[in-house]
A and B are shown apart, each in its own frame.
Chain A
């Protein structure tokens, strides 16, 4: 049997979900029997592959770049899993929503900067006015809340999804877990 293609994506989040994913430790080796990691911040692929079986997405959608990425990911993935509160609910990145992106940029690059008080104008993508969870942009198949979901949660959920075993997510994790 050919292995399933797994991608992991990092949008606007702290990478904690990826750390938690890596915290599966030796169980990652078991997992590697079942899947090939074809795209991820921890592998060297630059382009999102044309066909992915499972995409794990960490982070909220905060910029036009994120929006483009999530639409591309959805188009090329059979199953899309929102991992962590940022992807599921906006979480910490969405805390800027009540005060708006201008205030955030000013605080970060002007008020708190001791030298070079300038807002960068190249490379960094345009910010959306409000940060949204990914399901506001694309259909999401599975939601895995938590900040971050624990390594055990990852292991149980992924094993169930890969083997077709029943999966009771609320029993594993919750918002803020």
Chain B
């Protein structure tokens, strides 16, 4: 495979697509699929055949506004239909070439206007199981260009220049990480893609892996070239069977096209990727635990240093990046690095994909430029809180993050700004809460999550999260005291400062941030035995046991 051959494939696909008068794209991502998008696609296929029209039907990855699904987009008109079911198939096919089907159109111009699609540029436009579709949209161009025109150092320099930071949550500068691995001694190195997305309410990485798997593989191959690795692993949680299937198919196709394997593009560069499945442990998203899991050991973190960049998989230098980080690589190299750094804020460049969920009108996947105001994401893109309720807070960063109250909605989204208000960017989950959410109960929910997902290795996280949960439960059921609250705060401090890995170190964040902005709700529960949102049951006290129990 070389650039010319790649261009030929792209040209052939474009020519083939041009033969059709219309394209009917059906979103087959999980949310739409769960509402029978597969039956809808069958009905559309039948209707197209019956109509005799010259129409291409294609299954695609996530189109974004999941709560409006199943979604169908007709091109070239770019008509988006929402809540489509099989009964609409004939009407949609009949309308092709004429006026759109009345009453079925998805009028979400505002929703899309504020978004900038980089990572998701192909999602909704290509069939994720067809490598040619990806190639036709400039896929693998960056890899071949890098292999034939650039030095590894040049690649690292370009990535560093773009200002890209790790999208897994920590926000570590990607170029710097690549440089460290490149400089680490040893000629056996690994690149790892962290697809162990596990935050409640987060599905960005799944949508990327399912909707555009080649993009991740291309990013990994470029990274491998830059750091001098010849072997890669994609660590995906087993709860994502579709992602695993599509990645497996994508790897097979990439190998067949000579884009993975030995002497890629007739250069001395060898690289192949293996998929490893996670067994359902959230902590395996932590890089040292992930390494242990890939090696076949119990997924528990270990103290750093040494960092994986120096001693990772089987003691070799290992580059670990998140799915979304790799998904940003190809466009950064294909375009000018200034193009990327022109988007976003001072220290947070590019775009970020968020999974918008909770008490919001348009739940789904959105991609916005960094620096955008939270208010714009929630009120414009998300369409605000439904049902006449009022917005209370938005939780970012999952169980490691915090709740941001209404008065801070004008905050521009960036790594540093979110940390400043007591939350984190995290991997991109965004859970919106309204006046029917009890913030103490929300904190308790996240603490319970951390408690059940703690690996149990270090004491502060193992026993500390369980104690936080007990104290929060007391407060929620009306038996908590102000002493319990003081103890809780003290415990938060110890867990934060002494836990071994990020899971424990950030587990108190939901408690601390709700305490910071919604302390009055805690006081109401404790002093007045009242849950302001009406969520908590305050009569859950345990009765004493009389002696005359039945034998």
Contact = CB atoms under 8 A, between A and B. Distances in A.
Q: Do chains A and B touch in the complex (CB under 8 A)?
A: yes
Interface of A: 63-64, 101-102, 105-106, 110, 117, 119-121, 124-129
Nearest to A128: B544
A106 B551 CA distance: 6
Interface string B522-549: 0000000000000000000011111111
Main secondary structure of the interface of A (DSSP, over half): mixed
A119 B549 contact: yes
Nearest to B542: A129
Contacts of B551: 106, 110, 117, 119
B530 to A, nearest CB: 23
A29 B120 CA distance: 86
A119 B547 contact: yes
Contacts of B542: 129
A124 B547 contact: yes
Contact of A121 (B543, B544, B545, B547): B547
B547 A129 contact: no
B52 to A, nearest CB: 74
A120 B546 CA distance: 10
B547 A102 contact: no
A75 B79 CA distance: 75
A127 B548 contact: no
A120 B548 CA distance: 7
A127 B548 CA distance: 10
Contacts of A63: 544
Nearest to A102: B549
B155 to A, nearest CB: 59
B545 A129 contact: yes
Nearest to B551: A110
A125 B543 CA distance: 13
Contact of A128 (B545, B548, B549): B545
Contact of B544 (A64, A106, A110, A117): A64
A63 B546 CA distance: 9
Contact of B547 (A110, A117, A120, A128): A120
Interface string B430-465: 000000000000000000000000000000000000
Contacts of B549: 101-102, 105-106, 119
Contacts of A64: 544
A110 B548 CA distance: 12
Interface string B328-362: 00000000000000000000000000000000000
Nearest to B547: A124
Given A105-B549, A106-B551, 18 more contacts: A63-B544, A101-B549, A102-B545, A105-B545, A106-B549, A117-B551, A119-B547, A119-B548, A120-B547, A121-B546, A125-B547, A126-B544, A126-B545, A127-B545, A127-B546, A128-B545, A129-B543, A129-B544
Contacts of A128: 544-545
Contacts of A105: 545, 547, 549
A67 to B, nearest CB: 9
A119 B545 CA distance: 12
Closest 8 CB pairs of A and B: A121-B548, A126-B544, A101-B545, A126-B546, A127-B545, A124-B547, A102-B549, A64-B544
Contacts of A117: 551
Nearest to B548: A121
A122 to B, nearest CB: 8
A126 B544 CA distance: 6
A111 to B, nearest CB: 9
A121 B545 CA distance: 12
A63 to B, nearest CB: 8
Contacts of B543: 129
B442 to A, nearest CB: 27
Contacts of A120: 547
